Amino acid sequence: MIFLLAGNPNTGKSTFFNSMTQSHVHVGNYSGVTVEKRVHHIKNFEGANLVDLPGTYNVSPSGEDEGVVTYSILNEAYNGIINIIDSTHLKRNLHLTIQLLELGVPTLLVLNLKDALKNNGYVIDTDKLSKILNANAVSISAKDRNKDEQLLVADELKNIRTFKGIELEYPSAVKWGIQRIHDLLRYDILQVNKKWLALQILEGNQGIFQFLDLSKEEKIRNVVKEVEERIVNEKVALSLKGAIFNTRREFLTKVVDDCMIKVEDKEHSKYFNQKIDRVLTHPAWGIPIFFMIMLGVYQISFGNFLGVGAFLTSVLDYVWAEFVLNYSSIALDFIGISGFAHGLIVDGLLAGVGGILIFLPQIVVLFFLLAVMEGTGYMARVAIVMDRFLGRFGFNGKSIIPIISGFGCTVPAIMATRTIADKKERVLTILTIPFVSCSARLPIYVIFINLFFNKYRAFVMLGIYLLGIIVMLLSAKLFSLTYFKGSGSNFILEVPPYRIPQLRTIFYQAFEKAKRFIKKAGTFILIGSVILWLLSNIGPSGIDINPDDSFLSVIAGFIAPIFSPLGFGTWQATSSLISGFLAKEIVVSSLVVLYGGEAGIGIAFTSLTALTYVVFASLYVPCISTVATIKSETGSVKWTAFGVVYPFVVAYLVSLVINLKIVIFIYKNTSLKMGFYLEERIIMKYIVGNRIFSYNHNS
């Protein structure tokens, strides 16, 4: 058996899905988390599967994510629908419920957040609601994962009633239109209630037509036009859609009045939310507060003061260097493995993977804190605060959801743009999201910040992230004034109440990030590190040679001069950037392998070249997985190519400006410093070229 899970955004749908299936899909306290359907087995119902559909306010799709809902209802085989409802916003949620019940499919109404409703002083009479709507109804609190409630829902599904749906008393003109369209669709191949299809068409669901016999489209549209004219002429409403909405609103008002019972006089929790929101979503203070919160997050993750992530990384670094590498080397010597094979295992495999794994604690701490921000409901407020600001650059407020997702991984962030209805806005967001620093780039930032900007870790980290956001915004503004001029759509976002996030969910999300990171380090990055080490130690003259004579040096040497104006025109730096096209994490493992460890990186770069390298790495071409996703989501080779070339050009120009501006600034302030800077670079090139990595300098 198959049941579709439908509901408004931010009703706890994904939480309910996790509870019933004992799975762990991502849960975020803002809309747009689910952008494609997920399927999993229902734990207490043998042979039954639950399909988690994207959140929607209406069966009529306003974006590609909501189009999944329409497609599933019309084309897929299923035995019933579970409609999850936010009890604290019953009347608004029931508008979607009515559309689902009119379909005439067995439906279970799951009234979520009963604890929050009770805190507001109300309960819902589920028996009366079930009788009025002719559908099974249960009241639960999904976040508690109560086993009795899970069994109750499973039992209700097993005994879900079959019914013909509900029929509201629509105006006579609407009923006439339903019958006329029903007659035209009588022999249509869609195995769906034809009166429901007719009502959806009258309501303006344009997505229906792509599934119908197009030879009847003109006749159907003429019927819709005639009904619209009758509604307006008879002064029933200002529009056909308005007449349907008004009928439902009157019905639902009576339903809520009959079923919502006040049990206790107490201050409504919304006043508590409003008091906090006056500060956090203030037009003037909201954005500065957000940046202060993010600075605190980066300080805890990467900083010296309260730097939990940095401390754990230093511990792991010590353990890896002193125990894993050291004892592995001793063990290999003991069993007689030396020379080329010894270097491959220790310097290529273990050093390459370790160069990535040591940053795992900082990444886990960062995403733990971001998950807490999501779980409390604060991220939804960030979207509200950013709406007007983003609008000035050509974005829609819904773009904040993919942008926030982009801090984790660019691939799901681009997929999350399906929530944006306007096609031009969607493409604009897709092309600019790669400038947001994903978690894969974090190791690059951390290793250079630790080596060159140790005293100001959190500020430099925040600055790098801000630079990516600024470039994204300026690019969006440029696009919106040219090709994407005139795009725009309305922004509607469900603002949830503040909630205490579930530690179980938060820890699981952090664990999932760690697991994916380790999996990539143990497969893709491991293979990449080994290949790079081999290419840097094999050349035309044989094996175990000077890396300057290797195949990798020859190949990267042709490209390296391009980066000379940026200050890092070496074959090692070039090779690491090329490998970053496969996966950004490989950049760090490449640097560690090719420069012989962090000490070698510290010698090869100055503070200036380190900064320009980090800036370039943060902005240049997205990884191959992102490029494939851009192609999939835009369906355009042209936009995919643009999504590769444009970031490279921008990264080059921004890095060049930073490099030149700082050199000029030093020159204008003191010629002595300029001379030392040039001399220092010459010395470093000489030492790096001869693989002497013990040289220490103050940059």
pLDDT of residue 24: 62
User: Closest Cα partner for 412 from 54, 69, 66, 36?
Assistant: 36
* 509: pLDDT strictly greater than 80: no
Give the lowest-confidence range in 42-46, 80-84, 158-162, 252-256: 158-162
Beta-carbon contacts of residue 524 (< 8 Å; ≥ 6 apart): 582, 583, 585, 586
Helix (H, G, I), strand (E, B) or coil at 170: coil
CA 511 – CA 504 distance, rounded (Å): 10
Give the lowest-confidence range in 163-167, 483-487, 674-678: 674-678
CA 265 – CA 280 distance, rounded (Å): 28
DSSP E strand stretches across 222-318: 260-262
Give the global pTM.
0.65
| CATH 1.10.287.1770 domain span(s) along the chain | 172-262
CA 691 – CA 364 distance, rounded (Å): 34
Structure tokens at 92: 């608004």
- Mind listing the pLDDT tens digit for each residue in 133-185? 888 889 988 877 778 888 888 888 888 766 666 888 999 999 999 999 888 88
Exposure of 262 by Cβ count < 10 A (0-12 exposed, 13-18 middle, 19+ buried)?
exposed
**Beta strands 107-112 and 2-7, pairing class:** unpaired
User: Closest Cα partner for 95 from 293, 247, 237, 217?
Assistant: 247
Confidence label for 693 from pLDDT (cuts 50, 70 and 90): very low
Beta-carbon contacts of residue 274 (< 8 Å; ≥ 6 apart): none
User: Closest Cα partner for 48 from 134, 129, 106?
Assistant: 106
* 612: pLDDT strictly greater than 90: yes
Residue 449: phi, psi to the nearest 5? -65, -40
- Give the residue carrying structure tokens 């203030």: 282
| Mean pLDDT, residues 204-213 taken together | 77
| DSSP symbols for 125-188 | -HHHHHHHHTSEEEE--GGG--HHHHHHHHHHHHTPPP---------HHHHHHHHHHHHHTTT-
* 84: pLDDT strictly greater than 90: yes
> Which contiguous run of DSSP H or E holds residue 110?
strand 107-112
Q: Percent of the chain having pLDDT more than 70?
A: 85
* 418: pLDDT strictly greater than 70: yes
Confidence label for 686 from pLDDT (cuts 50, 70 and 90): very low
CA 438 – CA 413 distance, rounded (Å): 10
* 5: pLDDT strictly greater than 80: yes
Chain mean pLDDT for the chain? 80
Q: How many C-beta atoms surround the C-beta of residue 329 within 10 A?
A: 17
Q: Percent of the chain having pLDDT more than 90?
A: 17
Topology of domain 172-262 in CATH is Helix Hairpins (1.10.287)
| CATH 3.40.50.300 domain span(s) along the chain | 2-158
* CATH code of the domain occupying 2-158: 3.40.50.300
* 30: pLDDT strictly greater than 50: no
- Mind listing the pLDDT tens digit for each residue in 374-406? 778 787 777 777 777 777 887 766 777 788 778
Give the lowest-confidence range in 30-34, 150-154, 353-357, 558-562: 30-34
Confidence label for 361 from pLDDT (cuts 50, 70 and 90): confident
- Find out whether 591 and 602 touch, Cβ atoms under 8 Å: no
User: Closest Cα partner for 32 from 389, 403, 294, 331?
Assistant: 403
